[in-house]
Amino acid sequence: MPPAEPNRPLLILGGTTEAAMLAARLAAAHPGIAATVSLAGRTQDPRPLALPMRIGGFGGAGGLADYLAASGTKAVIDATHPFAAVMPFNATEACRSAGIPLLALQRPEWVAKESDHWTRVATMAEAALALGDAPRRVFLTIGRQELPAFAAAPHHAYLARVIDPPNGPLPPNLTLLRHRGPFDTEAETELMRREKIGIVVAKNAGGEATIGKIIAARRLGLPLVMVSRPARPAMPTVATVEEAMDWLGAHGCLPTRRGV
């Protein structure tokens, strides 16, 4: 874990488009603001951000609490991905013990239209089962970490889109597509058509950056296995960067004109 830099009153837990957008908004509105964006370090070559970043886990809730104290953090924005199942709990516990406010910046879920053919499941193991017994051409748009779940359904042909190469046991008939979003609807439709995709597996990540695949599946009348979000702890939550800015202002976390 990198050591905490002192006098960094604002910590953004990142790894998402929203965190990058908030960093850009803060840096533009308050040049030199002493804020840090934290990344887990899953992506080998993360996109540059408008604010300084630190990379690597904190060592659980206790490690995060130590970091908050050492960095003089006064507020935390949890802008982790809706499928980050651990960090929001660690942040809640660490902020509670440190007595500092915590806000979640989280995009709303995608909602099915009447014409959509979604099968909703709770886990990747259930998603693999939901593909059924007959072999299909499956588009996996779930990242790389959970691809091993589909080794349990080796009779399908998979196309998986990833940023970095995956590890672990993988299904035998797997083609990897190395791309980083955003992906527009036209390109997604063309890809699914060209690859003769019969079914799509997606996480209900929400937001605009990756909604193209959902609209493309809808257009092509393709069934979609939608993995629901994991449980999160209760905390104040906003959906937009502007609302997060308002919350920071209301909590005295933005520099005033006199630099206070």
Ligand X SMILES: NC(=O)c1ccc[n+]([C@@H]2O[C@H](COP(=O)([O-])OP(=O)(O)OC[C@H]3O[C@@H](n4cnc5c(N)ncnc54)[C@H](OP(=O)(O)O)[C@@H]3O)[C@@H](O)[C@H]2O)c1
Using the rule CB under 6 A, is 106 a contact of ligand X?
Answer: no
How many residues make contact with ligand X (CB under 6 A)?
24
Using the rule CB under 6 A, is 148 a contact of ligand X?
Answer: no
CB-based contact 78:13 (threshold 8 Å):
yes
Among 9, 11, 14, 199, binds ligand X (CB under 6 A): 14
For 64, 68, 125, 164, 199, the CA distances from 128, given in Å and listed in that order, are 35, 40, 5, 22, 12
Q: Which is nearer to ligand X, 40 or 189 (CB)?
A: 40
Among 85, 111, 152, 250, binds ligand X (CB under 6 A): 85
DSSP for 162-225, please give it: ESS---S---SSEEEEE--S---HHHHHHHHHHTT--EEEEE---SSTTTHHHHHHHHHT--EE
Among 46, 57, 132, 223, binds ligand X (CB under 6 A): 57
Using the rule CB under 6 A, is 16 a contact of ligand X?
Answer: yes
CB-based contact 75:22 (threshold 8 Å):
no
The number of beta carbons lying within 10 Å of the beta carbon of residue 49 is 18
Q: At 139, is the secondary structure helix, strand, or coil? A: strand
Using the rule CB under 6 A, is 11 a contact of ligand X?
Answer: no
Among 28, 29, 70, 86, binds ligand X (CB under 6 A): 86
Using the rule CB under 6 A, is 83 a contact of ligand X?
Answer: yes
Using the rule CB under 6 A, is 35 a contact of ligand X?
Answer: no
Q: Which is nearer to ligand X, 55 or 157 (CB)?
A: 55
Least separation in angstroms between residue 169's CB and ligand X is: 19
CA nearest 124: which of 89, 170, 78? 170
Q: At 8, is the secondary structure helix, strand, or coil? A: coil
Among 17, 38, 141, 204, binds ligand X (CB under 6 A): 38
DSSP for 44-76, please give it: SSPPP-SS-EEES--SHHHHHHHHHHHHT--EE
Q: Which is nearer to ligand X, 78 or 188 (CB)?
A: 78
Can you say how many angstroms the Cα of residue 60 is from the centroid of all Cα atoms in its chain? 19
Using the rule CB under 6 A, is 81 a contact of ligand X?
Answer: yes
Choose the stretch contacting ligand X; rule: CB under 6 A; options: 13-21, 122-130, 171-179, 187-195.
13-21
CA nearest 103: which of 249, 257, 248? 248
Q: Which is nearer to ligand X, 40 or 68 (CB)?
A: 40
Footprint of ligand X (CB under 6 A): 13-16, 38-40, 42, 57-60, 63-64, 80-81, 83-87, 90, 143, 203
